[in-house]
A and B are shown apart, each in its own frame.
Chain A
Amino acid sequence: MSLSFRQGSSVSLWPRVATVTHRELPIAYVGLEQRAELVELALGRARAAAPSAALRAALGAHLEERAGVPDDPWVATRWRELDESYASSLPGFAAAASIEIELAERLLVCRRLFAAPRQARVTLPASVARRALILSQGSPGRIYIEDDVDGLALLLGRSARVTVAQSDDTWRQWLGCEVERAGCAAAVSLAGGVTFGGAFDLALVQASGPAETHAALSRALAATRSGGLVAVAIRSPADESFWPLVEGSGLELVAYHRDCDHAVVPGGFVIDGGADLALFRRPADVRLAAVGDAPGLRQAAEPYLVLDFESLAVSRLDRAALARFADLVAATSSRPEAMRANERHGVRETLCWYDEAGFGFSAELRRDREHLQIALLPFDGALEYAVLFAVYHALADEQTRMQPSRTRRGPEGRIL
């Protein structure tokens, strides 16, 4: 027996803090000084020493005496229900991808660690399986992936040699542990400094802001051979700047899968609205415009984004609800809070929150309608994820739904 996480507790890593959440416990905040120890514990690595007194104090009831790192039955059931609910819309998919879904489910059920580096988000098992099936079509021999927070490489590693570049050291550790557990180190390797040179048959990267997407595409192009495939996961609102970027580049679109995945928030919540997956054939000569040169590209970046939540948990909509929500955003955002204004007039309450860099949002809560509308103004991807996390953990329950945040632009222009 050893001290381990209570069943149902999840660890989320943020730039300035880590949060530990459980459906029945208050959120625990762990400072950067204990992060390494927290990650070790969350990864279930054997440790000679018990958790430090400081970490034990921070985690409180989130720790319990347990043997090993068993699956969490409540979380497992919740993820399975959600996965079946979202995957059942595809005829024949569950049967065709049963092995991939099973593998991805095992990874999600056991995982404690969550985060969203560079717009890469943890997704439901069927979403991981779906991407694995799509990417393994054509039997690529060597695959390059950036920011694999799902363990997609483990699924692809059954038939290919996969190299993963994680932008965050924690994710390197996490995937390293999973590779070790799965015993597939021969097939899946973690890139330190990747030496490109067109060695890969396929590269998978994320679209985010224009400059970041440009850099990711450049890396993907450097990684893939001529005739290879470049796959890009495109989430709203990155679609607005992504398609102008590839237009005229010479990249040839070979497949486009809309709403390919469903991202999750730890604790058993799904973010309604998936990423699209676009696959391009890489010609020998690609002319990717520099961000500054591409006319209108900076302007094409989305200035704002609206998030809309319905069926919030009535029991959590007390008078302190928005303050609790703002506290959680303030803790998890990339930069410290600079401004907060909160007003209540009858059933309506507004909140305005900004960080030191001028990224923030306005929010309007209608208790009588169990509704919250948030305008991220200006848009920031990291703040969006922090806000989503805070809504679900401060104001929501399993039945809360958000207006699906879907891409509006596709390969042939506006589709929504």
Chain B
Amino acid sequence: MSTPSLPTALAPPGPDSPSASGGYHLGDGLMLSVGNQEGVLLNLADHSKSTLQPSFIAPLAEAAGGSDLLAYQALVPQLLDSGALVVGPAVMDPIIRDRLVALDRLFLPAYEASLGERARAAYQATLAAHAHRKRVQSRFVQCPVLPETALRRALLVGDAQQVGARRVVCIGDDDFVSMALAALGHDVTVYDIDDYLLDVLRRTAAELGLRVQVEKRDLLEPLPLAAQGQFDVFLTDPVSNRDCFLVFVSRALALVRPGGRGFVAVNGRAARQFRTLAAEQRLPIVAWHARHNRYYAPNLRLHTYESDLVEVDRAPDTLLAFAADEPMPPLDLYIDDIDWRPAMCLAFFDAIEGASHTGSFFLDTLVDVAEKHAPLSLYARHRHVTRAWSVLHGATRGGHLTVHVDRERHQIMWALSPMEVQAADALRQVIMSCHKSSASQASLSVGAGVWDLRVK
């Protein structure tokens, strides 16, 4: 949907009043992504994306879990009118559910035949919770796994009928693994900082008749004495940075008894860091499941992020980075350490005209213009020119620029690292003005640290 341009008039209370209908909730197929000060509403039905005016973020965030919106009555008519709000209590979103099922179908056929009745029920339980979720908090780097991944995590703990009922604690659970664990017969507790997630869990568990204990908890606060050492198993999916590992894992270890088992999601690129930390804390790694965890983005496509799942045991001599009753120093746990690198810009121009005039002089002119109009400076220019192709490469203060011209295929492409908008725009303009009088197609995609511009 397009950005709501909402009227400001206050509509009179009518038959849509929340007291009569059980409140309001976000319309089917809408997913709200909330950051520190910004909000984006994604419409999964038509693939549109709306950046929200600040005043709409709070009411929509509240409506994601179903609400009377008493504090936002002035905005309700406008939000209803735009289709963002629907009258009635929050229910499972069929569009989100269908999308998740479609994503899961990419992977489920590989092992579906091995799933028994209870495992299938556990899948349905976690799928139901995911399909109730209408809001993602990017502030907490929330990035849920697919329901099928949540099921596979739960199956590593096992079915209570076979391994015995375990006392399991989920340290953060925006993945809703707790639902699958409860369906498999375990005694499950969830600690999470996000009220909304805890509410989704409560509602879904109640609907399905499952028992999941939920508790709002900030891990930077000391753990209550009564909870320490009370669990057999923990699961956690921290952001893959050192501080986050230390906080989540030390808190989790304090909650499980000696000999207890833990499951920690670790991005593959932080694997060495995690192994080092585990060695420092005398935390035995008993299994490493490579590329176990698959995630989805708020637009209900597969996320580019993936992670491994590491099984650890709390040994008698395992050390805790932070004592259970120790308040932690203020830490920013949500720095994405593995994504420190600046984005790269790749560009591709096909069917260029006047390809024969793209030799050394052209490459130098191209870079001259970019240097003149953008904060870009090459230490040196390395060129190689043949009859069929040319390349120019140079290191810059922050990275490098490489331009490649293929005169036989009539193509120009470049790699600019890091992405610098002015420089990329200057390069694009020179190519367009000299070698591309028309284009049938142009696209810019941004993802996984790469800006990809293609003009055909």
Residues of A near any B CB (own CB < 8 A): 82, 85-86, 88-93, 95-96, 130, 255-260, 270, 272, 299, 303-304, 306, 308, 310-311, 338-339, 341, 343, 345, 348, 350, 352, 354, 358, 360, 362, 364, 366, 369, 371, 373, 375, 377-378, 399, 401, 403-404, 410, 412, 414-416
Contact with A along B255-287 (1 / 0, CB 8 A): 000000000000011111101000000000001
Q: Which residues of chain B come closer than 8 Å to A350, judged between CB atoms?
A: 393, 395, 399-400
The 6 residue pairs across chains A and B that have the minimum distance between CB atoms: A92-B114, A341-B382, A358-B389, A352-B393, A310-B269, A339-B384
- Cross-chain contact of A85 among B275, B288, B411 (Cβ < 8 A): B288
Stretch at the interface among B26-34, B207-215, B300-308, B424-432: B300-308
Q: Smallest CB–CB gap between B442 and chain A, Å?
A: 12
Tell me, yes or no, whether B386 is within 8 Å of chain A by CB: yes
In the complex, the answer to whether B388 meets A358 with C-beta atoms within 8 Å is: yes
- Docked complex Cα distance between A339 and B119 (Å): 57
With A272-B268, A371-B341, A401-B269 as known contacts, state yes or no: A410 contacts B106, CB within 8 Å. Answer: yes
Chain A residue nearest to B288 in the complex (CB)? A85
In the complex, the answer to whether B413 meets A303 with C-beta atoms within 8 Å is: yes
Chain A residue nearest to B388 in the complex (CB)? A358
Q: Which residues of chain B come closer than 8 Å to A88, judged between CB atoms?
A: 287, 289, 292
In the complex, the answer to whether B395 meets A90 with C-beta atoms within 8 Å is: no
Would you list 17 pairs from A and B whose C-beta atoms are within 8 A, ordered by A residue?
A88-B292, A93-B114, A96-B113, A270-B290, A303-B350, A311-B269, A358-B386, A362-B417, A364-B399, A364-B417, A366-B341, A375-B417, A377-B415, A404-B291, A415-B103, A416-B302, A416-B304
Tell me, yes or no, whether B110 is within 8 Å of chain A by CB: yes
Q: Smallest CB–CB gap between B424 and chain A, Å?
A: 14
In the complex, the answer to whether A91 meets B114 with C-beta atoms within 8 Å is: yes
In the complex, the answer to whether B404 meets A415 with C-beta atoms within 8 Å is: no
Tell me, yes or no, whether B58 is within 8 Å of chain A by CB: no
Q: Smallest CB–CB gap between A6 and chain B, Å?
A: 28
- Specify which of A352, A371, A373, A378 lies most central, judged by the most chain B CB atoms within 10 Å of its CB: A352
Q: Which residues of chain B come closer than 8 Å to A306, judged between CB atoms?
A: 344, 346, 450
Q: Which residues of chain B come closer than 8 Å to A362, judged between CB atoms?
A: 393, 400, 402, 415, 417
Tell me, yes or no, whether B391 is within 8 Å of chain A by CB: yes
Q: Which residues of chain A come closer than 8 Å to B107, judged between CB atoms?
A: 258-259
With A299-B350, A373-B344, A403-B448 as known contacts, state yes or no: A345 contacts B386, CB within 8 Å. Answer: no
Q: Smallest CB–CB gap between A334 and chain B, Å?
A: 16
Q: Which residues of chain A come closer than 8 Å to B400, judged between CB atoms?
A: 343, 350, 352, 362, 364
In the complex, the answer to whether B348 meets A345 with C-beta atoms within 8 Å is: no
Q: Smallest CB–CB gap between A286 and chain B, Å?
A: 25
Chain B residue nearest to A349 in the complex (CB)? B395
In the complex, the answer to whether B271 meets A375 with C-beta atoms within 8 Å is: no
With A362-B415, A399-B271 as known contacts, state yes or no: A93 contacts B111, CB within 8 Å. Answer: yes
Q: Smallest CB–CB gap between A212 and chain B, Å?
A: 16
Q: Which residues of chain A come closer than 8 Å to B361, judged between CB atoms?
A: none
With A88-B289, A93-B111 as known contacts, state yes or no: A352 contacts B304, CB within 8 Å. Answer: no
Q: Smallest CB–CB gap between A13 and chain B, Å?
A: 28
Q: Smallest CB–CB gap between B177 and chain A, Å?
A: 14
With A258-B107, A350-B395 as known contacts, state yes or no: A299 contacts B415, CB within 8 Å. Answer: no
B358-403 contacts to A (CB < 8 Å)? 379-380, 382, 384, 386, 388-389, 391, 393-395, 397, 399-400, 402
In the complex, the answer to whether B413 meets A377 with C-beta atoms within 8 Å is: yes
With A306-B346, A310-B338, A364-B399 as known contacts, state yes or no: A416 contacts B152, CB within 8 Å. Answer: no
In the complex, the answer to whether A91 meets B152 with C-beta atoms within 8 Å is: yes
Chain B residue nearest to A130 in the complex (CB)? B110
Q: Smallest CB–CB gap between A354 and chain B, Å?
A: 6
Contact with A along B325-367 (1 / 0, CB 8 A): 0000000000000101100101010100000000000000000
With A96-B114, A303-B348 as known contacts, state yes or no: A311 contacts B341, CB within 8 Å. Answer: no
Tell me, yes or no, whether B1 is within 8 Å of chain A by CB: no
A90-B111, A339-B391, A358-B391 are known contacts; what are 6 more A-B pairs with Cβ within 8 Å? Answer: A91-B152, A259-B291, A303-B350, A358-B406, A404-B268, A415-B106
B102-147 contacts to A (CB < 8 Å)? 102-103, 106-107, 109-111, 113-115, 119
In the complex, the answer to whether B341 meets A373 with C-beta atoms within 8 Å is: yes
Q: Which residues of chain A come closer than 8 Å to B447, judged between CB atoms?
A: 416
With A352-B382, A399-B275 as known contacts, state yes or no: A377 contacts B404, CB within 8 Å. Answer: yes
- Specify which of A90, A299, A350 lies most central, judged by the most chain B CB atoms within 10 Å of its CB: A350
With A373-B341, A399-B272 as known contacts, state yes or no: A89 contacts B290, CB within 8 Å. Answer: yes
Chain B residue nearest to A314 in the complex (CB)? B272
Q: Which residues of chain B come closer than 8 Å to A272, judged between CB atoms?
A: 268, 291
Tell me, yes or no, whether B456 is within 8 Å of chain A by CB: yes
In the complex, the answer to whether A89 meets B291 with C-beta atoms within 8 Å is: yes
- Docked complex Cα distance between A399 and B269 (Å): 9
Q: Which residues of chain B come closer than 8 Å to A354, judged between CB atoms?
A: 384, 391
In the complex, the answer to whether A86 meets B290 with C-beta atoms within 8 Å is: yes
Tell me, yes or no, whether B319 is within 8 Å of chain A by CB: no
Chain A residue nearest to B452 in the complex (CB)? A304
In the complex, the answer to whether B290 meets A414 with C-beta atoms within 8 Å is: no
Q: Which residues of chain B come closer than 8 Å to A345, judged between CB atoms?
A: 379, 395, 397
Tell me, yes or no, whether B155 is within 8 Å of chain A by CB: yes
In the complex, the answer to whether A415 meets B415 with C-beta atoms within 8 Å is: no
In the complex, the answer to whether A401 meets B384 with C-beta atoms within 8 Å is: no
In the complex, the answer to whether B271 meets A415 with C-beta atoms within 8 Å is: no
In the complex, the answer to whether A343 meets B395 with C-beta atoms within 8 Å is: yes
- Docked complex Cα distance between A403 and B307 (Å): 11
- Docked complex Cα distance between A271 and B395 (Å): 28
Contact with A along B430-456 (1 / 0, CB 8 A): 000000000001000001111000101
- Docked complex Cα distance between A86 and B119 (Å): 21
- Cross-chain contact of B301 among A338, A352, A378, A415 (Cβ < 8 A): A415
- Docked complex Cα distance between A358 and B390 (Å): 8
In the complex, the answer to whether B413 meets A304 with C-beta atoms within 8 Å is: yes
In the complex, the answer to whether A375 meets B389 with C-beta atoms within 8 Å is: no
In the complex, the answer to whether A348 meets B395 with C-beta atoms within 8 Å is: yes
Q: Smallest CB–CB gap between B194 and chain A, Å?
A: 26
Q: Which residues of chain A come closer than 8 Å to B395, judged between CB atoms?
A: 343, 345, 348, 350
Q: Which residues of chain A come closer than 8 Å to B415, judged between CB atoms?
A: 304, 362, 375, 377
- Cross-chain contact of A352 among B271, B275, B397, B402 (Cβ < 8 A): B402
- Docked complex Cα distance between A304 and B386 (Å): 20
In the complex, the answer to whether B382 meets A378 with C-beta atoms within 8 Å is: no
